[in-house]
Structure 1
Amino acid sequence: MRFLKLVSTLLLIVVLAACSTSASSGSTTNGSDYPSRTINITIPYAAGGSGDLQARIIAEFLQKELKQTVNVISKPGGAGSIGMNAVKSSKADGYNIILTAVGPSTLTPNSNDVGYTVTEDFEQIAQISEAPYGIAVNESSTVKSLDELLDQAKNNPKSVTYGTTGAGLHQHVVTSAFLATLDGVEMEHIPFEGGAEAVSALLGNHTTASVNTVSEIIPHNGNGLRILAVTSEERLEDLPEVPTFGELGFELIGNGAWFGFMAPKGTPEEIITTLDEAIKKALEDEDVIAQFKNAGLPIRYLNSQDFKTKVEQENVKNAEVIQSLK
């Protein structure tokens, strides 16, 4: 009887040990049971903007796909650095990720010491969208093409001005880098506090040209403005007559303002893959596609590896341009 009791006790110990080992091996450290609880998506901007809208569209799909609650949390401030640092310092387990953009990723940390470096402190999950830029002039201008605008800037140094959403922001960085590749072409930058202000100034003939996201200037094309070229890789469906910079023989450091998901450095590869695949499925969903289109947000998916390569390359190029801009 005592022998049977001893055997029973030993068996119980073995079973409990096996259960403990099984629970341990299935932890979120290796991503085998991910996700098993709520996922938080941080946006480094105020609620109600483009980033917030994209995050909520994707979050709604992920909830159904991953069968877990997905929250969207707004942490604006510090040109995006507050939200980025909040996610950087969170546990690398896939439950705190960020939908960030080109500014907080490759501009802010190269302009100031903000406590993080995008390539050292974050894992890239997937890019979801990219809004190309367009360069436009007032419709009353004698300038009919990008070459004519550049000729005017070359023949009359500093007589040509161009507006953007602000000094050191992506439109300014991309345009400055472009102009730096052209011999003898000088254009004076006029910074504004947003795209709407830059467009208004051009409509009022207060600037010679303006560089804006295409969605901001398309409504005025042929109705106050003339779009000369776009930064997309191919001609846009809504602007079939407008050439790309590439078509015209120019190379840019970026095709537009992108948004993409990132996670803290050290997040397991299995979790990155799970999220990447779920996000890809979201961007192929008809309802998601319709919501992005209605909001004027061009879907431009890049998988984890391609997004990582893009971020690394842009980070180097943008750092060089920002240094030259001082």
Structure 2
Amino acid sequence: MKVLTSLKVLAVGVLVMGMAACSKSGSEAESADSYPSRAISLTIPYAAGGSADLQARIISDFVDKDLGETVNVISKPGGAGSTGMTAVKSAKPDGYNIILTAVGPSTLTPNANNVGYDVTTDFKQVSQISEAPYGIVVNSGSGISTLEELLDMAREKKVTYGTTGAGLHQHVVTAAFVKSQGDLDMEHIPFEGGAEAVTALLGNHINASVNTISEVIPHAGNGLTILAVTSDERLEELPDIPTFKELGYELIGKGAWFGIMAPKDTPDEIVSKLDDSIKKALEDPAVIEQFKKAGIPIAYLNAEEFTQKVIDENEKNKEVVTSLNN
């Protein structure tokens, strides 16, 4: 009798576990099918007001209408982008916590310091949205009007330049350029975002700054002078500004890509839904016009293409960081 009772208890236990497993599976499937059913948090790993913030707000305005739920942009600067990346890495992988990040926090910061994440294993790439060239700029009251004049100044005395943060792409590209010239005395001043660097330059607290073009175009001829851009060709919106290349300088990077990522265990169905919505956003005439006015070239890559790009760039930038530290 006791044996029979034990078998009944065991059978009931197995049945309950099976029902729970089915319930869990059904719940997860329903969650993916009905996603999103509440607000999405889109983190940027920079201070508000810069290029990443601008792009996040343009994309979020479209996606929340397309998917029917609010997309809240949250700024989490610090640690050369690692603060925001770490926060999203640790978030629940349900599609409600995603990040608009860039080349620096993704493939430079973790190769320069132990920040607790690897972009190729701790995140899922959703979509690349843009690839923006940089501009080197000075205060319009400085009396400097060409890149050569700035470099000549740096050969005579110390020149300070700002970027979005130590170890980020603007810093690495500029530091490699300065190192290649050999005789420049240029000191890097890191900030928590592009907007802060621009503000410091406008206030004459630094001599120059290297920023994505979108961050300096609004001030061109109105406080700031753009000396050169990092793109291979002159930009349509800045036809009078020379490129580093035409001035005879080779750089290790042409600009910063920006893209959306999610925690690594985010369901593929949710990643696909986000990717589809972002693709539609980047094909929308109103969004295209906003990016164009900001001087940010749209460069969409789907999840698979973006994943491969991140893998390739992570390996390349690991070599660059190692060479600069030697």
Same fold, judged at TM 0.5 (above): yes
CA contact (8 A) 1:46 1:74 kept: no
The one of 199, 202, 225 aligned to 1:200: 202
CA distance in 2, matches of 1:57, 1:224: 26
Show CA shifts across 1:63-115 (max 9, x none). Answer: 33334x24325262543434322322334443432222334323332343222
Q: 1:270, CA displacement in angstroms?
A: 4.0
Structure 1 gap segments, 5+ residues each:
1-19
Aligned length: 300
CA distance in 2, matches of 1:96, 1:138: 38
CA contact (8 A) 2:135 2:226 kept: yes
CA distance in 2, matches of 1:24, 1:192: 47
CA distance in 2, matches of 1:138, 1:95: 41
CA distance in 1, matches of 2:118, 2:233: 31
1:41 paired with 2:41, answer yes
Structure 2 gap segments, 5+ residues each:
1-19
Is the partner of 1:227 in helix, strand or coil? Answer: strand
Instruction: Map residues 164-183 of structure 1 onto 2, 5 A cutoff.
Output: 164-165=162-163, 166-182=165-181
Which amino acid in 2 is paired with 1:116? Y
Q: 1:163, CA displacement in angstroms?
A: 0.8
Specify whether residues 125 and 39 from structure 1 end up closer, same or farther in structure 2 by C-alpha distance, changes over 3 A only.
farther
Which amino acid in 2 is paired with 1:126? S
Specify whether residues 99 and 211 from structure 1 end up closer, same or farther in structure 2 by C-alpha distance, changes over 3 A only.
closer
Instruction: Map residues 273-288 of structure 1 onto 2, 5 A cutoff.
Output: 273-288=272-287
Q: 1:296, CA displacement in angstroms?
A: 5.7
Instruction: Map residues 25-174 of structure 1 onto 2, 5 A cutoff.
Output: 28=28, 33=33, 35=35, 37-38=37-38, 40-45=40-45, 48-50=48-50, 51-67=52-68, 69-72=69-72, 74=74, 76-79=76-79, 80-136=81-137, 146=147, 152=152, 157=155, 159=157, 161-165=159-163, 166-174=165-173
Aligned to 1:189: 187
Specify whether residues 234 and 28 from structure 1 end up closer, same or farther in structure 2 by C-alpha distance, changes over 3 A only.
farther
Which amino acid in 2 is paired with 1:129? S
Q: 1:297, CA displacement in angstroms?
A: 4.7
Specify whether residues 70 and 254 from structure 1 end up closer, same or farther in structure 2 by C-alpha distance, changes over 3 A only.
farther
Show CA shifts across 1:198-242 (max 9, x none). Answer: 52366x8x73x5423334444554566553321134321221122
Specify whether residues 53 and 176 from structure 1 end up closer, same or farther in structure 2 by C-alpha distance, changes over 3 A only.
closer
Point out the more displaced range, 46-55 or 237-246.
46-55
Specify whether residues 55 and 140 from structure 1 end up closer, same or farther in structure 2 by C-alpha distance, changes over 3 A only.
closer
Point out the more displaced range, 278-287 or 97-106.
97-106
Is the partner of 1:33 in helix, strand or coil? Answer: helix
CA contact (8 A) 1:162 1:211 kept: no
Show CA shifts across 1:104-143 (max 9, x none). Answer: 3233323432221111211111122344211245668897
Which amino acid in 2 is paired with 1:74? I
CA contact (8 A) 2:202 2:224 kept: no
CA contact (8 A) 1:39 1:96 kept: no
Is the partner of 2:33 in helix, strand or coil? Answer: coil
Aligned to 1:264: 263
Q: 1:262, CA displacement in angstroms?
A: 0.3
CA distance in 2, matches of 1:149, 1:61: 41
Aligned residues: CA RMSD: 4.0
Specify whether residues 139 and 35 from structure 1 end up closer, same or farther in structure 2 by C-alpha distance, changes over 3 A only.
closer
CA contact (8 A) 2:214 2:294 kept: no
TM-score between the two structures when normalised by the length of structure 2:
0.71
Q: 1:261, CA displacement in angstroms?
A: 0.4
CA distance in 2, matches of 1:60, 1:200: 30
The structure whose residues are more often helix, as a share, is: 2
Higher CA-based Rg: 1
Show CA shifts across 1:243-269 (max 9, x none). Answer: 323445544333334431001224344
Is the partner of 1:238 in helix, strand or coil? Answer: coil
Which amino acid in 1 is paired with 2:311? E
Is the partner of 2:198 in helix, strand or coil? Answer: helix
